[in-house]
Structure 1
Amino acid sequence: MLSLLRTVVVLFVSLASIAYAVHTVEIQGQDFVDSKTSKRLMIIGVDYQPGGQAGYKPQSGQDPLTNGTVCLRDAALLQRLGVNTIRVYNIDPSANHDDCASIFNAVGIYMILDVNSPLAGESLDRSDPSGSYNADYLTRTFGIVEAFKNFPNTLAFFAANEVMNDIPSSKENPPYIRAIQRDLKNYIAAHATRTIPVGYSAADVRPILNDTYNYFQCNIDGKTDLTRSDFIGLNSYSWCGAAATFQTAGYNDLVSMFQNSSLPIFFSEYGCNKPLGIPRVFNEVAALYGPQMTALSGGLVYEYSEEEADYGLVNINENATVTLKKDYDNLQDHYNKLNLTLLQSADPTATNAKAPECSSGLISDSGFSQNFTIPSPPDGVDDLIKNGIKNPNNGKLVDVTETAVPMAIYGSNGVEVKGLAIKILGNDDSNLPGGETTSANATSTGAAPSASATKKGAAGKLSADTGGLLAVALTCLLML
């Protein structure tokens, strides 16, 4: 009996030490919803790719989610910022992401993951879609699914990003993007324990935007088919400067276009940095999360770290310390003013518009693809989907024990922020803005180092299972 009790208690302690901070997310109509509470999830997010493209080094097993200490640092800053979602662009499917994914899970931050990279053979080539859509490419995308399917904070996958940015690139590519979405969904259905949404990140190019939206939201032959996007992200930079308005930025046009959408729409990138050289004020945040734009599901600010394009919220210094930019402070201030009751009280059942049937009549520009005959999977892919890829790298939640950030963090005022740490959330919560003013909390007299931005080139609510194990353990104690 004592041996049995020890086994049960050890198992209970092992499981209880892993934080389960978020519920998985599903899609209902045009909304992301919490699979347990059915509350709407409004994406309050940031694009996360420290080091830019140069930070992706599969030859040495490095990507933005492989260094747990770095992720701990950034998770603490993103949690204070009020973020509940990050987008990560370039990932090595063979690398270990357990520490980073578990840290972001513990602090209530979801992950939207791109399955492509900038390296040759690791994305759909817009100039040669038929040649680049092959078994080797799809094997890699399936590897991303294997690496992240077991994390509850894996919100979704992007099958492609800005493959189309003008009329010529929209002629041949759309059917192949739908084919990749289908293949990913079939693989997820065969090898994951839950449905994980798959969608497309589109450039907000107004001449092709409406056709892009119609092409990817429609159902072929009027039926629900797996080639259809589960959601669409927009990389939108139309709101520029303090003088921009809801009308001048064209947000009113977006609302008209997506008001009765049959799928979720959100900004997968936003945050215009024009004019250059001055901090972004982020006035568009109030509009994006205000009552006029509840048809959209929020957005992700581009981007966390300062790179060559000058969109960063923070500077990552050469010694791994971080200095906040005024952009971080301004965004935090706007997040703190959000009406969270409005964002969480949206009724997903009120927005269940029916997807249209695919037809050439949905497409307004004669140069945009009107071809709804989707390519069949390349040779060998059906077998991969049925039997799985060889030697998959399956990620798993691990214990999050360290909470204090070990390197110095400096506010935008150049003064060190003391005592920065992640806060492991209980009750299966996702993170929300909490009124933090990170730079204003900097009170040390230590000065920040010169910024050298990188350049491109646990506690927690017990689950039902662990609760059951505790009951068994207590029962065994009573029997002794």
Structure 2
Amino acid sequence: MFTQTLALLALYAHTALAVQPLVIQGSNFVNSVTGNRYQILGVAYQPGGEAGYKPQSGEDPLSNGDVCLRDAALMQRLGVNAIRVYNVSPDINHDECASIFNAVGIYMLLDVNAPFSGESINRGDPESSYTASYLNRTFAVVEAFKNYPNTLLFFAGNEVINDVPTGANIPPYMRAVTRDLKNYIAKHSTRSIPVGYSAADVRDTLIDTWNYLQCTTTGDDSDPSRVDLFALNSYSWCGDSTFQTSSYDTLISDFQSTSVPVFFSEYGCNKPSPRIFTEVPVLYGPLMTPVMSGGLVYEFSQETSNYGLVSIASNGSLQLRQDYDALQGQYNSLNLTAIQGSRAENTSVTPPTCNSTLILESGFNNNFTIPETPSGAQDIINNGVSSSNVGKLVPVTNTKVSQVVQGTNGQTMDLSITVLADDQSNTPSGQTSSTAPTTTTSSAPAATTSKKSGATNLKITSCALLAVGFLAVILL
């Protein structure tokens, strides 16, 4: 009987714990249980780049549990609480990877589009690509991820508007896709999952894109074609820059009246290299946190564009790059208790009413009439995607990383994940860098009351004890 109790306890410990779904209140992400504001400390996650997206062979960035376990352990150690994944297949099972990232308190920001034909809006010919077939695929992505509590949001588009000519044609289609996704989620998800847009940080189009997408045609935030959030891919801070030199001050001035959360969906200029990430304390400091909701560093794995925090070999072994240690040092300097533990302000913001005066750039679309949902797509919205792959959390029974992982000094690291307590998201742990003179580095240190300590330090001991007592009563 005692053996049965322990077996059930082990199952409980690895399945009952989950992050709390986040909600949007005004211009903030908010923990739905604590009411505290949530700041994104994330990384872009697309191992192998576009070449890592192979739906025909059942592969995408969230399809291999062993790989996700390795990377989740390193992200937990780093202090990451969110990943952005660009290309996912709705037909692949993601339960293991999603459950691993959930267990370590990491949320997922997911693009519904992908690089193959028919999987995104064609900026050169949006009308022909906005079809029921295209929307069916985006809805299938929603189905695949809607039941994971750590699915934070969906991006309806990424840099589809990147100059004035695309600003003339694309904006109505971005609002239309947003509307269709939000209507589908409202009918087929048990919770509201935000939908937004990731913009190119191009001065000629950025503010007009934000205004076009955040405004309302109904006079309030009930307009389904209005984005729930707005993000930008920004690389203006390079090296040892400043708030003014990087033009971060201009961004804060531009977005200070935002009615939706605004954050960096990519950041981390790679010149000079290795990076030193001096923008991190500013991004999470008093100059920016009143307006911005954090950001995601580009990117986790080293690809041809040379932005990686880690280098991954073809056999699955991995070595940390100096960028990883530099980012960890900057994260460890943050007072996350103040950042993540504060009550949200600006929780009720009236969105601007859509009208042509919001648009400043000549040639950018200032007509807010958007395309009707394509023929056949409304039936899919009403009835759901047929034969859909609906994800669910599964037990995380293995916590030990099996691949060889080396620090920047070449020493092998002993890595495992630490399953966090219910409602916890990951935070920087205050650990030393990978160059510390030890060959064993746990993914979470002993508990501490330092301001740098966070959810990574919280064990499941109390939950386990409660479970033991509860199960003992049942089984005895």
State the TM-score, normalized to the length of structure 2: 0.91
CA distance in 1, matches of 2:467, 2:439: 47
> Where does residue 454 of structure 1 map in the other structure?
none
> Where does residue 207 of structure 1 map in the other structure?
204
> Where does residue 455 of structure 1 map in the other structure?
none
CA distance in 1, matches of 2:114, 2:359: 30
CA distance in 2, matches of 1:159, 1:344: 27
Deviation at 1:12, TM superposition (A): 8.4
> Where does residue 450 of structure 1 map in the other structure?
none
- Is the aligned partner of 1:149 residue 2:108? no
The residue matched to 1:292 in structure 2 has which SS? Answer: coil
Write the letter of the residue equivalent to 1:198.
V
- Is the aligned partner of 1:433 residue 2:428? yes
The Cα offsets for residues 453-476 of structure 1, whole Å up to 9 and x where unpaired, read as xxxxxx95999xxx89986x6665
| Contact 2:20-2:422 within 8 A present in 1 as well | no
- Is the aligned partner of 1:353 residue 2:310? no
> Where does residue 304 of structure 2 map in the other structure?
308
- Is the aligned partner of 1:67 residue 2:80? no
> Where does residue 443 of structure 1 map in the other structure?
438
1:370/1:189 CA distance change after superposition, 3 Å: same
Deviation at 1:13, TM superposition (A): 7.3
CA distance in 2, matches of 1:90, 1:23: 24
**Partner residue of 2:238 out of 237, 240, 245:** 240
> Where does residue 139 of structure 1 map in the other structure?
136
CA distance in 2, matches of 1:201, 1:398: 30
- Is the aligned partner of 1:35 residue 2:32? yes
> Where does residue 361 of structure 2 map in the other structure?
365
| Contact 1:150-1:395 within 8 A present in 2 as well | yes
Write the letter of the residue equivalent to 1:101.
A
> Where does residue 120 of structure 2 map in the other structure?
123
Deviation at 1:350, TM superposition (A): 3.3
1:369/1:348 CA distance change after superposition, 3 Å: same
| Contact 2:53-2:88 within 8 A present in 1 as well | yes
CA distance in 2, matches of 1:122, 1:425: 35
| Contact 1:43-1:298 within 8 A present in 2 as well | yes
> Where does residue 453 of structure 2 map in the other structure?
none
Write the letter of the residue equivalent to 2:192.
T
- Is the aligned partner of 1:24 residue 2:24? no
CA distance in 2, matches of 1:442, 1:326: 16
1:405/1:475 CA distance change after superposition, 3 Å: closer
The residue matched to 1:390 in structure 2 has which SS? Answer: coil
CA distance in 1, matches of 2:255, 2:140: 33
CA distance in 1, matches of 2:225, 2:361: 22
- Is the aligned partner of 1:422 residue 2:420? no
Q: Which runs of 5+ in 2 are unaligned?
A: 441-458
The Cα offsets for residues 115-157 of structure 1, whole Å up to 9 and x where unpaired, read as 0011111001000111100011111101110100000000000
State the TM-score, normalized to the length of structure 1: 0.90
The Cα offsets for residues 270-304 of structure 1, whole Å up to 9 and x where unpaired, read as 000123xx200100001100000011000000000
The Cα offsets for residues 405-464 of structure 1, whole Å up to 9 and x where unpaired, read as 1011111112212x211111113210000012241346349xxxxxxxxxxxxx95999x
The residue matched to 2:199 in structure 1 has which SS? Answer: strand
CA distance in 2, matches of 1:442, 1:86: 29
Deviates more, 1:251-260 or 1:339-348: 339-348
> Where does residue 260 of structure 1 map in the other structure?
257
Write the letter of the residue equivalent to 1:51.
G
| Contact 1:409-1:416 within 8 A present in 2 as well | yes
CA distance in 2, matches of 1:476, 1:330: 50
Deviation at 1:15, TM superposition (A): 5.2
> Where does residue 292 of structure 1 map in the other structure?
287
| Contact 1:89-1:113 within 8 A present in 2 as well | yes
1:442/1:78 CA distance change after superposition, 3 Å: farther
Write the letter of the residue equivalent to 1:395.
G
Give the alignment of 1:389-408 within 5 angstroms.
389-408=385-404
The Cα offsets for residues 229-268 of structure 1, whole Å up to 9 and x where unpaired, read as 10011100000122x1110110001111112211000000
Deviation at 1:360, TM superposition (A): 0.1
Deviation at 1:10, TM superposition (A): 9.2
The residue matched to 2:205 in structure 1 has which SS? Answer: helix
CA distance in 2, matches of 1:258, 1:144: 30
The residue matched to 2:41 in structure 1 has which SS? Answer: strand
Deviates more, 1:130-139 or 1:343-352: 343-352
Write the letter of the residue equivalent to 2:279.
E
Deviates more, 1:337-346 or 1:196-205: 337-346
CA distance in 1, matches of 2:340, 2:230: 20
> Where does residue 329 of structure 2 map in the other structure?
333
| Contact 1:428-1:461 within 8 A present in 2 as well | no
The residue matched to 1:71 in structure 2 has which SS? Answer: helix
The residue matched to 2:280 in structure 1 has which SS? Answer: helix
| Contact 2:283-2:294 within 8 A present in 1 as well | yes
CA distance in 2, matches of 1:351, 1:386: 31
CA distance in 2, matches of 1:209, 1:392: 36
1:314/1:19 CA distance change after superposition, 3 Å: farther
Write the letter of the residue equivalent to 1:58.
P
| Contact 1:21-1:429 within 8 A present in 2 as well | yes
The alignment of Structure 1 onto Structure 2 pairs a total of residues equal to: 454
- Is the aligned partner of 1:54 residue 2:54? no
| Contact 1:64-1:91 within 8 A present in 2 as well | yes
The residue matched to 1:370 in structure 2 has which SS? Answer: coil
The Cα offsets for residues 18-62 of structure 1, whole Å up to 9 and x where unpaired, read as 042310000001100011111111000000000000000011010
| Contact 1:112-1:154 within 8 A present in 2 as well | yes
| Contact 1:19-1:426 within 8 A present in 2 as well | no
CA distance in 2, matches of 1:153, 1:422: 17
> Where does residue 323 of structure 1 map in the other structure?
319
Deviation at 1:209, TM superposition (A): 1.1
Give the alignment of 1:168-247 within 5 angstroms.
168-223=165-220, 224-242=222-240, 244-247=241-244
CA distance in 1, matches of 2:92, 2:64: 10
1:460/1:135 CA distance change after superposition, 3 Å: farther
| Contact 1:116-1:160 within 8 A present in 2 as well | yes
Q: Give the share of equivalent positions with the same residue, in percent.
A: 57
